[in-house]
């Protein structure tokens, strides 16, 4: 039984109990004769009138409460139940509860982790896979191309930054990307096309992806 129906029964019963208590108090205060019997001409008539009036009041109240409870119950049954989407996996369920929605711009790329022991060839491959560009790496401050087998650390000049993460986005110009790579991980690069030709410095990174 629902809580609504329980309250629908408790309220009228409580009203009746209160009425009976009131009748008992009124009856005790009515005039009595020397033997303790209620005087029929006064008290009994008043008591019966009050008793009848109480049922006339309690009856409609009970019917009104029952009607309201029935209406609420029918609405609860008729209300459509919308099932929540089922996550595809426990990991997805945790992510749905704890992670806010994230919008990633198509022109923005993730952070690439580059360590000093990473080979130049690996770096060139990864930056192409992540950002869609071809790069040429130089040895220190010279104009000599770095070999694919050497490490990133060995291509840095002594005063070069020694960061290990690279973050780029598509709205950067070619010359800005080249300068940013040096500032972030300490190596000198130039962006080229697939044939090894240098790209125009004014080009946007998003426009030269291969």
pLDDT band at 32 (very low <50, low <70, confident <90, very high): low
With contact defined as beta carbons under 8 Å apart, do 199 and 173 qualify?
no
Alpha carbon distance 50, 189 (integer Å): 103
Of the given ranges (19-23, 124-128, 168-172), which has the lowest mean pLDDT? 19-23
**Burial of 1 per CB tally in 10 Å (0-12, 13-18, 19+):** exposed
* Cα Rg of the chain (Å, integer): 44
Q: Which residues contact 113 (CB under 8 A, 6 or more apart)?
A: 164, 165
User: What is the percent of the chain with per-residue pLDDT over 90, rounded to a whole number?
Assistant: 35
Put residue 7 in one of left, alpha, beta given phi > 0 → left and psi -120 to 50 → alpha: alpha
d(CA 54, CA 48): 10
Residue with tokens 């560009």: 133
- In tens, the pLDDT along 179-205 reads 999 999 999 999 999 999 999 999 999
Task: List pLDDT tens digits, range 73-103.
Answer: 566 555 555 555 555 555 444 444 443 333 3
Place of tokens 């009976």: 20
Find residue 189's DSSP bridge partners. 137
pLDDT score of 38: 56
What are the backbone dihedrals phi and psi of residue 48, each rounded to the nearest 5 degrees, phi first? -65, -35
Predicted confidence band of residue 115 (pLDDT cuts 50, 70, 90): confident
Those residues whose C-beta lies under 8 Å from the C-beta of residue 23, and which sit 6 or more positions away, are 47, 50, 51, 54
The label of the residue with tokens 């408790």 reads: 10
Could you tell me the two tokens for 1?
A: 């039984």
Residue 190 is classified by DSSP as: E
Q: What angle do CA 194, 195, 197 make, to 5 degrees?
A: 100
The pLDDT of residue 108 is above 70: no
Report the chain's mean pLDDT, rounded to a whole number: 74
The mean pLDDT of 23-34, rounded to a whole number, is: 63
Contact status, residue 171 vs residue 204, Cβ threshold 8 Å: yes
């Amino acid at each position: 039984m629902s809580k609504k129906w329980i309250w629908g029964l408790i309220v009228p019963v409580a009203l009746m109990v209160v009425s009976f208590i009131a009748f008992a108090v009124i009856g005790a205060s009515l005039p009595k004769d020397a033997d303790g019997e209620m005087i029929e001409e006064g008290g009994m008539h008043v008591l019966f009138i009050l008793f009848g009036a109480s049922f006339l009041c309690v009856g409609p109240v009970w019917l009104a409460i029952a009607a309201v409870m029935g209406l609420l119950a029918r609405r609860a049954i008729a209300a459509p139940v919308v099932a929540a989407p089922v996550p595809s996996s426990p990991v997805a369920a945790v992510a749905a509860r704890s992670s806010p929605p994230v919008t990633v711009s198509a022109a923005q790329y993730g952070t690439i982790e580059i360590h000093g022991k990473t080979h130049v060839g690996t770096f060139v491959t990864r930056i192409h896979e992540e950002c869609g560009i071809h790069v040429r790496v130089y040895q220190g401050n010279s104009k000599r191309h770095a070999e694919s087998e050497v490490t990133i650390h060995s291509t840095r000049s002594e005063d070069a930054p020694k960061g290990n993460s690279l973050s780029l986005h598509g709205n950067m110009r070619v010359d800005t990307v080249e300068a940013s790579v040096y500032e972030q991980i300490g190596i000198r690069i130039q962006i080229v096309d697939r044939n090894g030709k240098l790209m125009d410095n004014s080009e946007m990174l998003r426009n030269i992806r291969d």
